[in-house]
Amino acid sequence: MSVTNRQEILFIYEAKDCNPNGDPLDENKPRTDPETGVATVTDVRIKRTVRDYLHQVKGQEILVRDTFDNNGYLRDGKGRCEDFYQAANVNDRDSITDLVTKVQKAILQKCIDTRLFGCTLPVEFGKKKSSIRLAGPVQFNGFNRSLHRIAPVLVQGTAGFASKKDATQKSFREEYIVPYACIAACGVVNEVAARSTTGTGLSDADVSLLLEGLWKGTQGLISRSKEGHNPLALIRLTYRDSYRIGDLAGRISLVSDKEDIQIRSINDYHINVAPLLDAVQSAKEKIVSIEVLQDDRLVFLDGAESGKFADLARLDKLVSELKLG
């Protein structure tokens, strides 16, 4: 059954001595806002974390992943679409409309990332050409930002091998890292896009896997450039009447005695959530539930009070611990 309630997600995580989101068109430097100096992480990076976790750990099929043809070449979108023709039971007698409908149904049944994030995919069968266009019910901010300025650092070291055959010593490597960043990402689950006639049929079970992918997938970022990621807080607000507060990340701020670029650990700051809690209190009649998962090390502030988000919210009947699979 498709989701029936609008939901908002606030996900806070840290990145230490790593590259939260490199820009391949700029020497893979960590993405930053040139005016404010804060780190930025695209929605594409967030979705990649979720996709990889769901596919590699949970065994879920995903549409957006590397696949190869019989010659070992990386497939394009058309080639990836062909992977679903057999399951869709397409044939030469199908009209182009029937062809798209069949393939779209097969992809939605098999691929959780399509049910979550939608897709745009070319469909070509013989001389018949069209495309699948599905709006994703789950969307994250295009650019999710750190709560403080950061200063990327160029790190140099010795590579594992020589750079050429007749060299007498190993070559050198260099990479950019961020010493520390506390990043807040926002997402929305749009129940209208999930259940409409052109929707993806996103279910509550799919959303639960999304939340698990955010938290545990971030824990699992242990590649050479991503080791140092840790989830800190995950908050889901479920609403009635298609309501939402909006801009959850814009309603929190980092509080520290140190200069922004001097911050190096979670012990160097607290997070002020007073504006967010005010918004929650004002909207409590529109809120069905608030689920929270929080690292014990993270301290939230509400005026002179400090503690966990669930305690500061003072909405015991609405607030519960977020359970992950």
- The tens digit of pLDDT for each residue in 191-225 reads 999 987 678 999 999 999 999 999 999 999 999 88
Q: How many other CB atoms are there within 10 angstroms of residue 71's CB atom?
A: 5
- Looking up tokens 């650019």 gives 143
38-60: per-residue pLDDT in tens? 999 999 999 999 999 999 999 99
Quote the pLDDT of residue 199. Answer: 80
Question: Pick from 20, 50, 26, 24: which is nearest to 38 by CA?
Answer: 20
Hey, CA dihedral for 38, 277, 212, 189, is it positive or negative? negative
How sure is the predictor about 291, in pLDDT bands with cuts at 50, 70 and 90? Answer: very high
- pLDDT for residue 277: 98
Q: Range with the lowest mean pLDDT among 126-135, 171-180, 230-239? A: 171-180
For residue 83, pLDDT over 90 is answered with yes
- Reference 231, options 20, 45, 43, 12; nearest CA is 12
Summarised one tens digit per residue, pLDDT across range 149-182 is 999 999 987 766 766 667 666 667 789 999 999 9
pLDDT at 209: 98
What is the rounded average pLDDT for all residues in the chain?
94
Residue 272 is predicted with a pLDDT of 98
Q: Above pLDDT 90, what percent of the chain?
A: 90
The pLDDT score that the predictor gives to residue 170 is 66
Q: Please give the pLDDT value at position 267.
A: 98
pLDDT at 84: 96
Helical spans, DSSP H, in 145-198: 191-195
Q: Which has the closest alpha carbon to 197: 140, 130, 135?
A: 135
CA pair distance 294, 296, nearest whole angstrom = 6
Range of weakest confidence among 128-142, 155-169, 307-321:
155-169
Residue spans of the domains in the chain: they are 7-59+138-321, 77-134
Could you tell me the pLDDT band of residue 263, with boundaries at 50, 70 and 90? very high
Average pLDDT over residues 185-190: 98
Q: Which of 282, 280, 274 is nearest to 304 (CA)?
A: 274
Whole-number pLDDT of residue 131: 96
In the prediction, which pLDDT does 11 show?
Answer: 98
| C-alpha 67, offset from chain centre | 22
3-state secondary structure of 175: strand
- Mean pLDDT computed over 238-244: 96
Cα four-point dihedral sign 239, 213, 325, 17 = negative
Q: Where are the alpha helices (DSSP H) in 22-111?
A: 43-56, 77-82, 85-88, 96-110
Q: List the one residue out of 252, 122, 236 whose CA is nearest residue 187.
A: 236
